[in-house]
Structure 1
Amino acid sequence: MRTTSTLIGAAALVFAVAACGAPSEQASEASEDGQGPLRVGVSPVPHGDILAFIDENLAEEAGLELDIVEIADYNTPNAQLVDGDLDANYFQHRSFLNEWVENGPDADLEYLTDVHIERLGLYSEQVDDVADLPDGAEIAVPNDPANLNRALGILEAEGLITVDPDAGETATEKDITDNPRDLEIRPLEAAQIPRSIADTDAAIVNGNYAIEAGLADEAEVLAWEPEGDDYVEKYANGLVVLAENSDDERIQILADLLHDERVLDYIQETWQGVVLAVDADGEPVE
């Protein structure tokens, strides 16, 4: 069964504390003592699509029954996991989980395994190469702190700007120390950027929004964000469970299936580099 909620854009993991309420009526639907369907909360794209592929092609053979719940925000999946409404969730990276736990309820949540990375890319409908960007070019970037820093990293890696290294992971356009081509950096809400790409010279777009907007077909990818040694650790989205349930056989089966070669191939063929699968060894699959 695939339960669907309102669709959201889901790559920029913007944090907002949400209090955990009392367990909802859905709590009775979450399995107890490792029995019944494994109820997993996901963001719809690409997380929900990946689990749907597993459900339709691999789960029955592995003896796993999945109940996939698409959730329209970033705080509900952890709250529902704590409340017992879910057996697992798959929508977040480690930094978001750590911040949620630090600022939210007392909860022992475990990040079990990496699954994929939604890459930030520099897209353009105006030029085919970074070198062709004109002086004074307007470049749209996500305005949330985590992804703004990532976006500036792309521009710096392409030699377009220099960012103050002391700004660290909270760098903004105000931390640009050198901008030889006088680029106009235009922070926008991440979800709005695909609709604005025709009005800019280039734009840096989160992977999930690029997928939803079909940018791979409509725009040229000028550059991907650089992959450092900690790329997976920083930006991979993974499977999260209550620590006490990490040995649940159904959860272990799902963790294995998420790294099955057929799933890795599905991710590669479906999203063609916009989404990178992460294999069982924690390495991105190009």
Structure 2
Amino acid sequence: MKKSAWWVLGIVVVLVAAVMGVHQISHSAKAKTSTITVGSMGSDYDIWKHIASSKDAKEAGLKIKVQQVTDGVQLNNGTAQGNIDVNAFQSYSYYEAYNKQHPKQQLRALGTTYLEPMGIYSKKYKAISEIPDGATIAIANNPANTARDLLLLQTAGLIKLKANFGALGNTNDITQNPRHLKFKEIDDTTGPRVLKDVDVVLISNTVALEGHLHVLKDSIFHEEINQSTRSNINILATAKGNASNPQYKKLVKLYHKKDIQRYIKDKYYGTKIEVQKPISYLK
């Protein structure tokens, strides 16, 4: 009877182990084929739709669903809350500003993608030197792009900012305004539409492209690619707890594949300049 009992117990143990093994294999297979939701907007949304259906994505074993969200804060909120796995739309400075404003909903940068120059545009003037006293300049009303706009105006020689000007800087930080410029804050997605209503508008390249503007040809001044603009490099970001996810990290390598980069260069006329640097470079 004792031998029989041990024999039955042995069979039960083997069966349980087998069932657990099948469950683990099934779970592992499911994890490998799980879909990564990438949230994006504008031209970045179009890029990631192309990437999701690319041969490179299939070869990397990545199944990608691209979700369009038209508001940057909502997109970051959705990512921080885990409703979106990874987002692809923002500069490092925008990401920093978001984290400072949302201490309980932190994001982490996965890797760099590109830099597209911010431009100064005008329908009335063809050069910075022509901008008159008292001109009205439209700048972004979100903190990260407000700061970026003001830094570009400083580089153009129109204003001077305080020495410790940071990612959340604003017009209160202007120390010199020799031309007595007036500033009008706008939703930065409307830049091309207000171009005819004000003297000067600062427009991000993604928005400029949507408005059929080419930053290297149509702006009267634009950012150069150098150390001073490194915080304006775009990144892929995810929720703080997902930063070490190996599948998410694969998205960074995928973005920099030669075929993908060729597509981006051709479609956006060279205005999205590839940057393949460690995150430490941006800090």
Regarding TM over 0.5, the answer is yes
Of 177, 184, 196 in structure 2, the residue corresponding to residue 198 of structure 1 is: 196
Partner of 2:273: 276
Aligned length: 249
TM-score, length-normalised on structure 1? Answer: 0.71
Q: 1:192-222 deviations in whole A, cap 9, x for unaligned?
A: 33211112222101222212222229x8211
Greater shift in the superposed pair: 179-188 or 149-158: 179-188
TM-score, length-normalised on structure 2? Answer: 0.72
**Pair 1:44 & 2:41 matched:** yes
1:7-18 aligned within 5 A: none
| Counterpart Cα distance in 2 of 1:164 and 1:267 | 37
| Counterpart Cα distance in 2 of 1:231 and 1:149 | 12
Secondary structure of 1:198's counterpart equals: coil
Of 141, 145, 162 in structure 1, the residue corresponding to residue 143 of structure 2 is: 145
Instruction: Give every structure 1 segment of 4 or more consecutive aligned residues whose post-TM-superposition deviation is greater than 6 Å.
Output: none
1:124-273 aligned within 5 A: 124-216=122-214, 220-225=218-223, 227-229=225-227, 231-233=229-231, 235-240=233-238, 243=241, 246-248=244-246, 250-273=247-270
| Counterpart Cα distance in 1 of 2:85 and 2:274 | 23
Secondary structure of 1:215's counterpart equals: coil
Query: Considering only CA atoms, is the larger Rg found in Structure 1 or Structure 2?
Result: 2
Alignment-mate amino acid for residue 162 of structure 2 = D
Q: 1:35-87 deviations in whole A, cap 9, x for unaligned?
A: 32432231222322221221233222433322222234445555555665444
Task: Evaluate the alpha carbon distance shift between residue 90 and residue 38 of structure 1 in structure 2; reply closer, same or farther with a 3 A threshold.
Answer: farther
The gaps in structure 1 that reach 5 residues or longer are 1-30
In terms of fraction of residues, the more helix-rich structure is 2
Cα RMSD after superposing both structures: 3.3
| Counterpart Cα distance in 1 of 2:157 and 2:258 | 36
Following TM superposition, by how much is the alpha carbon of 1:157 offset from its aligned partner in structure 2, in angstroms? 0.8
Following TM superposition, by how much is the alpha carbon of 1:258 offset from its aligned partner in structure 2, in angstroms? 0.8
**Contact 1:110 / 1:246 at 8 angstroms: preserved in 2?**
no
Task: Evaluate the alpha carbon distance shift between residue 251 and residue 48 of structure 1 in structure 2; reply closer, same or farther with a 3 A threshold.
Answer: same
- Overall identity of the aligned pairs, in %: 26
Alignment-mate amino acid for residue 49 of structure 1 = D
Q: 1:242-268 deviations in whole A, cap 9, x for unaligned?
A: 6457343x4343221111122233333
**Contact 2:137 / 2:182 at 8 angstroms: preserved in 1?**
yes
